[in-house]
Amino acid sequence: MPIIGERMRNLPAPPPAVFDDLVDPGRQPVRPWLDLLADEVPPTVLVAVPPARVMWATLWPRRPDARIEFFLTPARGGTDLRRRLTADEPLPDDSLTGHLRRRVNELIFARLRYTYGQ
């Protein structure tokens, strides 16, 4: 599956906490972070290898082939989280690719990150 986006950022929580949040986004109702848009669906976990790797099925029904994979590495008192977005051919056009990347970045590197206090 071709990679259509990849990014790494540090999150201030340890890998086991980030892993648990990715596997079960609703596990902490006092700190919700998975705020989906009208054209998105909750992720289905396809792969979970604690505490180092999680793969989600698509968030976008119009692109059922899309996958989001997360790689977690302990670093600087938190987690270096790399996310990889893949899709089958035909690849989405530049506009849709940008939208998918932006949404994953917003959900993970903004909304989830802020629940950790940063």
List pLDDT tens digits, range 60-90. 999 999 999 999 999 988 999 999 999 999 9
- Per the listing, tokens 């054209």 go with 39
All domains of the chain in start order, with CATH: 14-115 (3.30.530.20)
Cα separation, 17 vs 78, in Å, equals 10
What would the mean pLDDT of 27-42 be, rounded to a whole number?
A: 94
Over residues 13-31, the pLDDT tens digits come to: 999 999 999 999 999 888 8
Question: In 10 A of CB 85, how many CB atoms?
Answer: 24
Element housing 20 (H / E)? helix 15-23
Q: CA 117 → CA 34, 82, 99, distances in Å?
A: 16, 20, 26
Q: What is the pTM of this model?
A: 0.95
